[in-house]
Amino acid sequence: MTAVALEVADKQDVAHGVVSLTLAHPEGSRLPDWTPGSHIDLVLPEGTVRQYSLCGDRWDAHGYRVAVLREPRSRGGSAYVHDELRPGDRVGVGGPRNHFPLVPSEKYLFIAGGIGITPLLPMLHQVELMGAEWQLLYGGRSRSSMAFRDELETYGKRVHIVPQDEEGLLDLAAWLGTPCTDTKVYCCGPAPLLTAVEAACAPWPAYALRTERFAAELSAPVRDGPFEVELRRTGRRVTVTPDVSVLDAVRAAGAEVLSSCEQGTCGTCLTPVLAGRPDHRDTILADHERAAGDCMLPCVSRALDDRLVLDL
């Protein structure tokens, strides 16, 4: 991953357990453009890399805003951002990249759970500019834990804030019970919310629902034995044993593959597949991309067959 050093220009508490950071170039230079749904990689000391959605103004070319939830079981990333990082400090930043793009539609329903509001904030701004019809359903544990409520209140009745301790869980049956052919549903939040929304949207038209997960939940691979990967450009063959990722195996065989999250959530390691069927275990690819089988995320995905041929 190529990272540039940006400076923390601002740090603010935006909810209980959530801070926002504004990152800027130390010399005040323009930052690369981005679109709603994009994320950046934050490279923290000791090489910890975390992905955070850009949640500021996409037309501000001089500042990236992200929001970071303090994770109770943090592996160091969010705890460092909350406890150590100060305005004036520098952090490595990779990207931006977008695996959660906003596609054209007449109507949108946005569903956020907790910190999942972050990629949706710039989307709301965009659809408002486009004049589309939209509504936001925003759930969280309690009002005080829900970030950016003040910004959302400017949208008036389009925004439905549902603190769990006051109103219970989001009423997905009421919102998604009747499939709509002219509405796209965008959902970001914790895994149980995404699973519930996916189930509720099952009768909806194909591709109506788009989700973003922050961490891949890895199910068991389809096959538990070794398989072979051929690197077509060098002709090398490598055996991938159950305890090794395809990414590590092909790197050990000399292939150069960029990576970042190594959890199947960022898309950096996307690799073309020339033969064999991948066992997709990421949370990036859409159903039709999985079915096409012509690319895979080798940091988490494996093989359905005895052999895969990769364009490496």
Which amino acid is it at 175?
A: W
Cβ proximity to ligand FES, 20 vs 268, nearer residue: 268
Binding mask 99-118 toward ligand FES (x if CB under 6 A, else -) reads: --------------------
How deeply is 134 buried, as exposed, middle or buried, from its count of CB atoms within 10 A (0-12, 13-18, 19+)?
buried
Binding-site size for ligand FES (CB under 6 A) equals: 13
Binding mask 40-79 for ligand FES (x = CB under 6 A): ----------------------------------------
Stretch 247-286: interaction string toward ligand FES, x if CB under 6 A: ------------xxxx-xxxxxx------------x----
Q: Is 310 in the site for ligand FES (CB under 6 A)?
A: no
When asked if residue 38 is in the footprint of ligand FES (CB under 6 A), the reply is no
For the chain, helix (H) and strand (E) counts, in that order, are: 8, 18
Task: Rule CB under 6 A: say whether 296 interacts with ligand FES.
Answer: no
Which of residues 179 and 221 has its CB atom nearest to ligand FES in the complex? Answer: 221
Instruction: Build a one-symbol-per-residue string for 211-250: x at contacts with ligand FES by CB under 6 A, - elsewhere.
Output: ----------------------------------------
DSSP one-letter string for 165-215: HHH-S--HHHHHSS--TTEEEEEES-HHHHHHHHHHTTTSPTT-EEEE-SS
Bond before 87 cis per omega within 30 degrees? no
> Can you spell out the DSSP letters for 163-177?
EHHHH-S--HHHHHS
Tell me which residues touch ligand FES (CB under 6 A): 259-262, 264-269, 282, 297, 299
